[in-house]
Amino acid sequence: MKTALVIGSSGLIGSHLLNLLLESSHYDKVVTFVKRDTGIKHPKLTQHIIDFDKPETYKELVVGDDLFCTIGTTIKKAGSQNAFRKVDFEYPSKFAAFALLNKVKHYLIISSLGADAKSGNFYLKTKGEIQDFLKDCNFESVSVLQPSLLLGNRTEFRLGEKVGAF
């Protein structure tokens, strides 16, 4: 059987993904990396509460078959472009490096429609840079999903998503 690794399992996409993985017969173990306890209990679930800014503390834990990266934020929520880049580029790239060291085969990431490392838009540029970084990694496969607007029930209000839904 296989082990799925998930970063970003408490967000809109990640929480749905986590439920699907826990019910999937393809995985006998699902490992999540989170900032705080989610309260989710399941026989297949192992939850690692980590400080994403201390990679040396979780380097050895990134062991499995498939790594799903649904972590992400907005510049507004992060508070600055640097803080946004940390979440949307640095964390996914650190996990990629550790995954390669630990022989993870597949990396799947949620990016954005229009992602391009040459974009003048900081958000799209950062998304494009992580895509390019992952393409240069030696995983058996890298899957990049580029959804448009992400709609769903969130804990915070996002005006742009409300307007875009019309």
Structure tokens that stand for 1 in this block: 């059987």
The pLDDT of residue 158 is 43
Q: Is pLDDT above 60 for 162?
A: no
Categorize the per-residue pLDDT at 153 as very low, low, confident or very high, splitting at 50, 70 and 90: low
Rounded Cα distance, 112 and 72, in Å: 10
Residues in the chain: 166
Number of domains in the chain: 1
DSSP conformation class of 54? -
Structure tokens that stand for 68 in this block: 């799903």
Rounded Cα distance, 14 and 32, in Å: 10
94 is in which domain, residue-wise? 2-164
Q: What CATH number is given to the structural domain containing 136? A: 3.40.50.720
Element at 49 (helix H, strand E): strand 45-49
Categorize the per-residue pLDDT at 149 as very low, low, confident or very high, splitting at 50, 70 and 90: confident
The pLDDT of residue 1 is 85
pTM (whole model) above 0.85: yes
Look up tokens 């990629």; give the residue.
Answer: 96
